Structure 1
Amino acid sequence: MAQYAVLIYARDSAHAPGAAAAATASCDQHADELAVSDAMLAAYALTPRDAATSLRAGSVTRGPFVDSPEVVVGFYVVEAPDLDAALAIAATNPVLREGGGVEVRPVHSGGVVERAAAQP
């Protein structure tokens, strides 16, 4: 089955260190539902934009790479038989009801990197 990345866009992430559980409840519930469905392969919530550091050739800047009203606040990877099925999964994301958006992209390649065993 094909894999699709679902990038989640919002004004900022509610996943600040020490954030109240209520602030992330809809995201956490959605992740739990996708995990139970066996569609989700991986999921990551990002911290707020003020924690970002961006690099360009010759410079380091505090803040997100692009100054935009919406930023990527998290992403997950799902497995689906086709794009339509991946879009149906992404359409259940609560950020869509909360004023944000999602972007779905087919994953070309990659996966979890195996760490080499430590040498004695």
Structure 2
Amino acid sequence: MHRTLENPPAPAREMVTEALEGALDDRSAADHTAEALVGIALHGDDRDFAEHCCVKTGTRAAPGSPLLGLTVLCLSHIARRFGRLSDEALDLARSLAQRAAADPADVDGRALDGYDDIRTFLHLW
């Protein structure tokens, strides 16, 4: 599958919530959720809401879901833009990166890249 880099705008909060619930219940809706997560991570004004959506996705998505690696990548964008993440978001990013290192079929490599970026942006060395 050929993926292209897109920077979608931040959708309305209601659309994000709807997309998130849809993808967690139906894997065929993952692309819509991915677009919503990337949009709020890159352009959303509410760090707490963006983090909440990422944490919810990262804790509820099924093993092997492409949303798991994307969640950490989105958290890295939030860390870069706002200069901080909650302890819960940091713990999730670390956990998903560890899972990606142990089994890339469980969590894709974007989790490793995203966690490296988080550590860089937040000076966690």
What is the TM-score when the length of structure 1 is the normalising length?
0.23
Larger Rg: 1
- Structure with the largest fraction of helix: 2
Identify which of structures 1 and 2 has the higher relative contact order when contacts are C-alpha pairs closer than 8 Å and 6+ apart. Answer: 1
- Structure with the largest fraction of strand: 1
What is the TM-score when the length of structure 2 is the normalising length?
0.22
